[in-house]
């Protein structure tokens, strides 16, 4: 018997909200997202899930905010970097490309019972072209634009630990307004 992905993800997220399953982490959420998107290799999502865990623990954001904030920032990077640079980034950190764009977050939002809000969140994350769009995306996630400045160094540090080179990190920092 095959269980629909949406049912599995909804169940996992419901367990995450209960104290008994407090060990459910952002890693589990990232793996569920990977499964929801048809990912076959759980190991490919491991580096990306590590990033989500780092954001959750350091910035005390919800799984939806971690996934959405990261997705919005990666969406902006995808639109601003050359195709070659973005390809290098996604090859350096397996599973990272799964987090970009609004589809994942609108799916999570709907499953979390925020379907009215998920349309606006999905719209805000779907096409981040500039810092104004990035700020709107963070606002749709319930975070103020100042959180972009908190996400950026955490993401940049994490990417550096995953082997992303200095010039690409500098470009990303510039795109996200984190300086050099």
Q: What is the pLDDT of residues 29-60, one digit of tens each?
A: 555 555 544 554 444 456 577 888 889 999 99
> Are 6 and 77 a contacting pair, CB within 8 Å?
no
Task: Answer whether residue 121 is part of any domain.
Answer: yes
Task: Answer whether residue 164 is part of any domain.
Answer: yes
CA 38 to chain centroid, in Å, comes to: 17
By residue range, what is the domain housing residue 110? 5-175
Residue 8 pLDDT > 50: no
> Are 106 and 122 a contacting pair, CB within 8 Å?
yes
The mean per-residue pLDDT over the stretch 124-136 comes to: 85
For the chain, the straight-line distance linking the first and the last C-alpha, in angstroms and rounded, comes to: 52
Q: What is the pLDDT of residue 97?
A: 75
Q: Domain count of the chain?
A: 1
Q: What is the pTM of this model?
A: 0.70
Task: Answer whether residue 180 is part of any domain.
Answer: no
> Are 118 and 64 a contacting pair, CB within 8 Å?
no
Q: What is the pLDDT of residues 79-101, one digit of tens each?
A: 999 989 999 998 888 777 777 75
Task: Answer whether residue 89 is part of any domain.
Answer: yes
């Amino acid at each position: 018997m095959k269980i629909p992905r949406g049912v599995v993800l909804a169940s996992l997220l419901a367990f995450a909200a209960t104290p008994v399953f407090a060990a459910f982490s952002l890693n589990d959420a990232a793996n569920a997202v990977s499964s929801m998107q048809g990912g076959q290799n759980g190991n490919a999502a491991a580096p990306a899930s590590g990033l989500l865990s780092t954001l959750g623990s350091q910035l005390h954001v919800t799984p939806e905010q971690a996934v959405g904030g990261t997705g919005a920032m990666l969406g902006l990077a995808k639109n601003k970097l050359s195709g070659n640079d973005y390809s290098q980034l996604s090859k350096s950190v397996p599973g990272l490309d799964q987090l970009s764009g609004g589809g994942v977050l609108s799916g999570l939002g709907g499953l979390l019972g925020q379907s009215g809000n998920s349309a606006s969140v999905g719209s805000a994350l779907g096409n981040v072209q500039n810092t104004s769009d990035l700020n709107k995306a963070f606002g749709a996630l319930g975070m103020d634009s100042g959180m972009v400045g908190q996400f950026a160094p955490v993401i940049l540090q994490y990417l550096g630990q995953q082997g992303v080179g200095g010039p690409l990190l500098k470009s990303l920092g510039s795109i996200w307004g984190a300086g050099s």
